[in-house]
Structure 1
Amino acid sequence: MWKPDRSVKKPIYQQIADYIERRITFGEFPPGSSLPSERKLADSLGVNRSTVILAYEELRASGIIESAKGSGTRVTRHKWGITPKQTPNWKTYVEGGTFLPNLPFIRRIREELRIAPGAIDFASGELSTDLFPNDIIRELLQTKSFQEDLGYDDPQGYSPLRETLVRFLETQLHIQSTESSILITSGSQQSLYLITQCLLSPGDAVAIEDPSYCYSLPMFQSAGLRLFRLPVDDEGMNPDDIIALHRQHRIRMLFLNPNFQNPTGSVLSLERKTRLLSIASELGIPIVEDDPFTLTSFEGTPPPTLKSLDKTGNVLYIGSLSKIAASGLRIGWLIAPQAVVSRLTDARQQMDFGLSRIPQWVANHFIAGGHFENQIHLLRKSLKLKRDSLMSGLHDIMGDSVSFMEPQGGLNIWCKFNREVDDFKLLDEAIKRGVLFVPGSVYGSDQGHMRVSFARPRQDEIRQGLAQLYEALQEHK
């Protein structure tokens, strides 16, 4: 984001006025559109409110903006001969389209992380920078000779990477696959997007866990799908709930995160997994297994995936490097029947002609050279230490204000407040104190829950962040 340059002689307020005038001229703020409030703009630019007031006064004096009591500050409609007929009303375009924006809570959290990078981040489902294999990736780039063609790659994905994944997934997770049954994607969300767009139609009924990460993804609503919920307890969702849902709504697909579920951390029991596969097979319902966390199992022995237990080809399996290795590589994979892979590959080619070969080449050497396996071992130890610090802090600092289940893997702890809490007000109080979390309502749960991630904060930030969060809770009555 643009910031005023304090090293130059031009006054800060004049820099701000010039910056806003440029944005108006370029059509980013069309005639009649609202400008940020003085206080909000001052906070985002890191200046005093009085400085923004001076900048707005400068623009008002030039006739570029106008203010009205109760209506805020707007771009004037008739400056320099510009009229709404000559400039597109970008507001109507932004509010149009079929692809919905992120939920307001998600946008608020991301905006705060952008303008306040020093905040203690219990919200992001991403590793802290010290847990990324940065040195290994740099070493691979320096020591391995990239001899590949830089033309468009196979839209299904770099063939050596797919071959490597076949071996890795069989060894680590007992998942049987072939090179032709794997599609390389830019991450789990692209896999989900391709599935919702290519295999389902508007009006189709799909079932998701409750609470569920899927609930926070507008792509499901954008695709016109009808979402039905499967409540999650300590052993995951109850497979028998599917029967009643299917009888009433004709469920077309199940979207599940069975191992160290996001956000609750629960693991679908083996008994329930077996029952689920049986029911799905009998009803002919495909299961999409989104599996970012199985390999993080703190005890070292990952619980079985649905895909490894699937004998009838009902499961579409999604994995990626994003949550447990290197989110910046943008490497994910989807395992599916060849007909499905072919359909999704065709759609993917229409979108971007396939991933860049360079990150796929890096990912292949990272996995094939045993570095990913080493990363997993180190990650389990580090995440377990962070989990223990977070649980200890929750007990010592939050006390009986919250209750939670101890996760055996993954990146998150799901907390329930033991008194009535307003999600929005609590988040607002937490942000004022420089700490962020994700309210439970983002995942479709009732108010009074929160997801606290222990992956992003440094070890020495965890108790400090919890203390600030507890202050926010005490302030929020």
Structure 2
Amino acid sequence: MHWKPDRKSHLTIHEQIKEWMRTRIERGDWTVGTKLPTQRKLAAQFEVNRSTINLALDELKADGLLESRVGSGTFVANNSWNVLLNKSQPNWQQHIDASIHKPNYHTIQLINEYEQYDHIIRLGTGELSPELLPTKQIERSLKSLSLDSRAIGYSEPQGSNKLRSVLCEYLKKRGIDTAPENILIVSGAIQALQLIAIGLLEEGAIIFQENPSYLNSIHPFQSAGMRMMPIQRDGNLTETLRIAKRRKQSLFYCVPTLQNPTGRNWTSEERQILYETCAQLQIPIIEDDVYHELLFEQSSSPSLKSLDRSGQVLYVGSVSKTLSPGLRIGWVVAPEPVIQRLADIKMQSDYGSSAFSQEIVAHWLSSGIYESHILQLREQLKIRALFVEKILEEQFKSVATWEKSEGGFYIWIRFNEPIVNKAMFLNLLKKNVLINPGYIYDTTDIHHIRVSYAYASLEELKEGLNCIIELVC
């Protein structure tokens, strides 16, 4: 041994000795079971006090690299390789646990996992069945598209100007008068919520929401450090919002048309009251309006954005529920400064949504193909809803209640007894039936399940509902 500690180093003498010994073990110079020289010999070799050697040895023992044997000396420990391996690798679990984004509920993680398996009957899925997707029509429309090199490159920060212009015309049918500079193209409604969370709100901001809420199952605001506050609209809404708003910046998230998960619709009066209350208190509103085109019957209830005269409402739309979730195209309509802020953050995140997808959506909206598809889709969904409601009427009437679907994907079933828990979810999963239990939308809810008639085939819907009633009864 010719090595000696460097007395000019920024490291202390005992730290240098400790690192030298660790290196000998890592390189295999000192294998498991190797006996170290005596403290006296090491002290003489390194020209240091025995107390310095003793300190270095004690720390290596504490690290699990060395062990003492009474009457025999100090040896390289049996588990030294495992210790070194763990020390050399990042502690990823520690990184995960300390990360900003909150993990989803275990039930939702299982839902996301099992939705990928073909043998699973998906009774809760918020997605169109492959047989309802206009695959052939999209394929044919691709042949009608005329693309130039600029159209398929990176789009403008706010998205394709062509699509934004088409959307301005299309949104007039919803009573929304806007301009291309007030629209941002996003990769679906969830991205819109994420951009709003990190781009417009401070940490600790309050997000008001109707209870139960889809927001509780995806966490875009919770992971940004915001507090969710459930609101009962039939109570003293003004006073509740006023008291809560005193503490922090706030925002109201809502799905007034075909609310997720309940499928309910707000009346025109309810929409007017909410808008005027939030305007009075200067609380911005996010109107998530991704389901409105799937109403079975025409409604006179306006969108909140159509009532907006002061930039109070951030309007979110998408084609994921109506055309194809794989296109990943949605939009936000908001005041220009807000759109510019969100566009800046989006460009930092993904440099724009798919140029091909934007071209397809622009073509469908402008050519009339989209509206024709929507008419057919509504009819197909209505057939499915009636099919499920017939089964419910025949088999579930004694154990549960529900409201007739007005459109969209869902029927919100309430069991008379508090039976909707993790055990029920897992027992159905064993039977290859996947449900969306109410507790993923409201942690206190042990009565409801969200049944979707949009994804599973009619045969699967019947089989899945039979499995539920057999388990319940």
Could you state the TM-score of these two structures normalised by the residue count of structure 2?
A: 0.79
Residue-by-residue CA offset, 1:246-305 (whole Å, 9 max, x unaligned): 224436110001111001111111111111111111111111001111111101446321
Question: Which residue identity lines up with residue 282 of structure 1 in the other structure?
Answer: Q
Matches of 1:238 and 1:194, distance apart in 2: 30
* Greater displacement, 464-473 / 385-394: 464-473
Separation (CA, whole Å) in 2 of partners of 1:249 and 1:80: 54
Contact 1:163 1:178 in 2 (8 A): yes
Residue pairs, 1:215-234, within 5 angstroms: 215-231=216-232
Partner of 1:313: 311
Query: Counterparts of 1:262 and 1:300 in 2: how far apart (Å)?
Result: 19
> Which protein shows a greater Rg?
2
Q: 1:368 aligns with which of 361, 366, 369?
A: 366
Q: Following the alignment from structure 1 to structure 2, what is the Cα–Cα distance between the partners of residues 439 and 372?
A: 33
Q: Residue 319 of structure 1: CA displacement?
A: 0.4
Aligned sequence identity (%): 34
**After superposition, where does 1:251-262 map in structure 2 within 5 Å?**
252-262=250-260
Q: Match of 2:209, as an amino acid? A: I
Aligned partner of 1:342 in structure 2 is 340
**Deviation at residue 471 of structure 1 after TM alignment:** 1.9
2:165 pairs, out of 157, 163, 167, with 163
Q: Is the 8 A contact 1:393 1:462 kept in 2?
A: no
Match 1:153 to one of 152, 155, 158:
155
Measured in 1, the distance between the counterparts of 2:119 and 2:98 equals: 35
| Change beyond 3 A, Cα 1:422–1:457 | closer
C-alpha distance in 1 between matches for 2:441 and 2:103: 16
Distance in 1 between the 2:420 and 2:181 partners?
A: 49
Distance 1:281 1:357 in 2: 36
> How far 1:81 moved relative to its partner?
9.4
Q: CA deviation at 1:184?
A: 0.2
CA distance in 2, matches of 1:371, 1:408: 24
SS for the counterpart of 2:263 is coil
Closer/same/farther in 2, CA of residues 256 and 348 from structure 1, 3 Å limit? same
Shift of 1:460: 2.6
User: For 2:80 and 2:399, how far apart are their aligned partners in 1?
Assistant: 56
1:77-102 deviations in whole A, cap 9, x for unaligned?
A: 87799611212222222222101122
Q: Partners in 1 of 2:290 and 2:316 — Cα distance? A: 8
Moved more, 252-261 or 366-375: 366-375
The amino acid across from 1:165 in the alignment is: L
Query: 1:452 corresponds to which residue?
Result: 451
Corresponding residue SS for 2:86: coil
Task: Work out the CA distance in 2 between the residues paired with 1:78 and 1:401.
Answer: 61
Equivalence map 1:45-444=2 (5 Å): 83-114=85-116, 116-149=117-150, 150-171=152-173, 173-231=174-232, 237-238=233-234, 240-250=236-246, 252-301=250-299, 303-444=301-442
CA RMSD of aligned residues (A): 1.9
Q: Which residue of 2 aligns with 1:46?
A: none
Aligned to 1:53: none
Structure 2 residue matching 1:319: 3-state secondary structure? strand
Partner SS for 2:396: helix
Distance 1:86 1:129, change over 3 A: same
Structure 2, unpaired ranges of 5+: 1-77
In 2, the alpha carbon distance for the partners of 1:217 and 1:281 equals: 27
CA distance, structure 1, for counterparts of residue 346 and residue 238 of structure 2: 31
Equivalent residues of 1:155, 1:355 under 8 A apart: no
Q: Which secondary structure state, in structure 2, belongs to the residue aligned with residue 451 of structure 1?
A: strand
The alpha-carbon deviation at position 118 of structure 1 amounts to 1.7
Q: CA deviation at 1:141?
A: 1.6
1:415 CA drift (Å) = 0.9
User: Cα 1:83–1:295, aligned 2, differ >3 Å: closer, same or farther?
Assistant: same
| The 10-residue stretch of structure 1 (401-410 or 137-146) with the greater mean CA deviation from structure 2 | 137-146
Q: State how far apart, in whole Å, the 1-side matches of 2:103 and 2:183 are.
A: 30
Using the TM superposition, give the Cα deviation of residue 473 of structure 1 relative to its aligned residue in structure 2, in angstroms: 2.2
Partner of 2:27: none
Q: Which string of whole-angstrom CA distances, capped at 9 and with x for unpartnered residues, describes residues 138-194 of structure 1? A: 1122232322324321120000000001111112x1211111100000000000001
**Structure 1 gap ranges (5+):** 1-75, 232-236
- Give the match's secondary structure for 2:119: coil
Q: Does 1:472 align with 2:471?
A: yes
Q: Provide the C-alpha distance between the structure 2 equivalents of 1:252 and 1:431, rounded to a whole number of angstroms.
A: 39
Tell me how far 1:429 sits from its aligned partner.
1.1
Q: 2:260 and 2:364 mapped to 1: Cα distance?
A: 26
Give the whole-Å Cα distance in 2 for the aligned partners of 1:192 and 1:383. 27
CA distance in 1, matches of 2:438, 2:186: 29
Give SS of 1:350's match: helix
Shift of 1:320: 0.1
Identify the range of structure 1 (421-430 vs 327-336) with the bigger mean alpha-carbon deviation: 421-430
TM-score, L = length of structure 1: 0.79
Aligned CA distance change for structure 1 residues 105 and 78 (closer, same or farther; 3 Å): farther
8 A Cα contact 2:420 2:438, kept in partner = no
Partners of 2:100 and 2:223 within 8 A in 1: yes
